[in-house]
Chain A
Amino acid sequence: MSTTHVRPSAVPISVQSTVAAEPRRRSSNVILRLIREKPVGALAGLVFVLFVFCGLFADVLAPYGFNQISPIERLQPPSAKHLFGTDNLGRDLFSRCLYGARISAIIGLSAAALATIISIVIGMFTGYLGGRFDMIGQRFVDAYMSFPELVILIAVVSAVGPGMFQIIGILSLVLGVGGSRIIRSAVVSVRENMYVHAAQSIGAGTGRILWRHILPNIMPPIIVLFTTRVGAVILAESGLSFLGLGVPPPTPTWGGLLSGSGRTFMFQGPWLALAPGLCLTIVVYATNVFGDALRDLLDPRMRGSR
């Protein structure tokens, strides 16, 4: 074995020598970075938090019960007493919108969470295992995505009957299969990293590689997928409720409010359609903007571009 140094000119070093770690810390606090770099996204995030808060504490926040009928106060325009006005039965629309937020929040968060989990499972296995498995799996996804979403939803709901759990189940399945594409492409790019190769070379099994090496490194797209899915689920749920296939009355939902009193009394009381419609628009828009802002923050490739 050689004991001479290749380059006598090189700095004489011993094996024990250690250079201090170079400080390459970046601000790791996502919330702070969000406020500083993406003020609009931060505002959207605030709207989103507010929405979830309203849904959680609807029964505390609502000044009236959602089904509290007051015949003498029918079709009142917005006032200090009734912020969003009242409907044809004299029910307080503000309270009904708050309770509608609860349904949207429950369905939105749980169906989006389930959909994301389904996407992760399908995307990780097809993306990591690759080959024929990927080919066949993704052709199924293709076929699935070529059906119009609404048609699947209507068909399944009319078969199993309307209700919250049915809607959560079917929405998470429909959106989860579609979203697996995004996870798969993230997995395919992470899989090519040398640290995955290194894990394989030490003999790590597939489960370990997926859990320890792939999953932590695809968190940014997962978070973004989840937030944008919340908006999509809320919108789809309202669509179903509007068609009378959502959560059955008397439970107030935004879609139900739009199609019920909102549509029938649109000209006598335009606030009946405007209030739930605006709630829906603002919340869905906020989740999308928030999701975009998170993507820009968490995806290093997007850094610097606004």
Chain B
Amino acid sequence: MTQPLLRVDNLKVHFPVFKGAVFQHEVATVRAVDGVSFTLARGETLGLVGESGCGKSTTGLAAIRMLTPTSGRIEFEGQDISTLDKTQMQPLRRRMQMVYQDPYGSLNPRMKVRDIISEPLEVHGLAGERRARAEKIAQLMQAVGLLPDMADRYPHEFSGGQRQRIGIARALALEPSLIVCDEPVSALDVSIQAQVVNVFVDLQQRLGLAYLFIAHDLAVVRHVSNRIAVMYLGRIVEIAPRDEIYRTPLHPYTQALLAAVPVADPEVERARKRVTISGEIPSAMNPPSGCRFHTRCPHAFARCRTDDPPLVGMGSGRAAACHLHAAP
């Protein structure tokens, strides 16, 4: 097997909770990400789904070292980057970029589109002389479906979808091999979502980018991903190629997640059997013993309360962390 672009191994990101104004002391730890492992090949898209607070954004941020992991290993292009400091990361930032959820907050309102897109080039000393830079900006704008003569406008003159395209152009400027997309379309109207999703798909085919695509909209994730990882409370509970996971979800949480997506046909919708789960996601400060999902799982049995199920391979690239599917 060829070397993956990104390999994350047993990643843990814990946040200490402090109390006290003058004499601060640690009172608890939020285990936002607690033992996540996955790989991402060049040109591949891994969808990362799960409900709010399950640690998917934290995983994405740690993968490009915008956060320092508590423990675990992150290998990017074969190099362990989990302990590099800011200066050591600097040259690698070229190869990994990020697209943000909020198209309004992620662009500096006081900068022209031209300056927003060329900033990564300037930071890495690749701006070149003025004509070459202008041409590069025009190419990038065209690549994401913006007209190059809009370069002298300010972000507030654009719609949400257009702003997201500007954010994508900025991420593309350095020709990265990995882009972490943190819910890049969830803030957009549904019709605009499809457009922006297609920008991502199109760019991947042309430039061979790899995406770590974080989302909670299963339809969007299904469209863009090759493989999908489902996260619950800081862990990956199931990871599988896209079609497999939608056809036969193994983990009860995945089943519930897919069942929650309504079917457009009312006949089918009425007839289908639904697996529902109740209750709230438990606190990441104090996760349940054994399987983290056992408090809400419809199939939980005695062993689930005591043993933490590991993520076990099921063949054909699938893996699930559930005692129901573990070897008997």
Contacts and interface: CB of A to CB of B under 8 A. Distances in A.
Interface of A: 1-7, 10-11, 13-19, 21-25, 193-195, 197-205, 208, 212-213, 216-217
A14 B158 CA distance: 19
Given A2-B224, A202-B120, A22 B194 contact: no
A24 B145 contact: no
A202 B97 CA distance: 7
Nearest to B144: A15
A201 B66 contact: yes
A4 B223 contact: yes
Contacts of B170: 198, 202
Nearest to B180: A201
Contact of A15 (B93, B120, B202): B202
Contacts of A3: 201
B199 interface: yes
B195 A194 contact: no
Contact of A203 (B123, B147, B204, B242): B123
Given A1-B226, A7-B194, A203-B90, A19 B159 contact: yes
> A-side binding surface: helix, strand, loop or mixed?
loop
A200 B66 contact: yes
Residue of A18, A24, A197 ringed by the most chain B CB atoms within 10 A: A18
Nearest to A202: B120
Interface stretch (B4-12, B26-34, B107-115, B320-328): B107-115
Which 7 A-B residue pairs are closest in the complex by CB-CB distance? A203-B93, A216-B110, A6-B223, A194-B106, A10-B194, A194-B105, A202-B120
Contacts of A217: 108-110
Given A14-B145, A197-B100, A202-B93, 17 more contacts: A1-B205, A2-B225, A2-B242, A3-B201, A6-B222, A10-B190, A10-B194, A11-B191, A13-B198, A21-B158, A194-B105, A195-B106, A202-B120, A203-B94, A203-B123, A204-B123, A213-B108
B64 interface: yes
B146 A18 contact: yes
9 contacts: A3-B201, A11-B194, A17-B145, A25-B157, A194-B105, A195-B108, A200-B66, A202-B97, A217-B109
Contact of A195 (B93, B107, B222): B107
Residue of A17, A204, A205, A208 ringed by the most chain B CB atoms within 10 A: A204
Interface of B: 45, 64, 66, 89-90, 93-94, 97-98, 100-102, 105-111, 119-120, 123-124, 142, 144-147, 150, 153, 156-159, 161-162, 167, 170, 174, 190-191, 194-195, 197-199, 201-202, 204-205, 219-220, 222-226, 242
Contacts, number: 123
A198 B194 CA distance: 24
B288 to A, nearest CB: 32
A204 B100 contact: no
A194 B123 contact: no
Residue of B89, B98, B224 ringed by the most chain A CB atoms within 10 A: B98
Contacts of B66: 197, 200-201
A10 B223 CA distance: 13
A265 to B, nearest CB: 55
A201 B146 contact: no
Contacts of B219: 6-7
A6 B197 contact: yes
Contacts of A2: 201, 222-225, 242
Contacts of A6: 194, 197, 219-220, 222-223
A201 B105 contact: no
A15 B162 contact: no
Nearest to B99: A198
Contacts of A200: 66
Given A13-B195, A21-B159, A22-B159, A198 B106 contact: yes
B105 A203 contact: no
A217 B93 CA distance: 25
Contacts of B167: 198
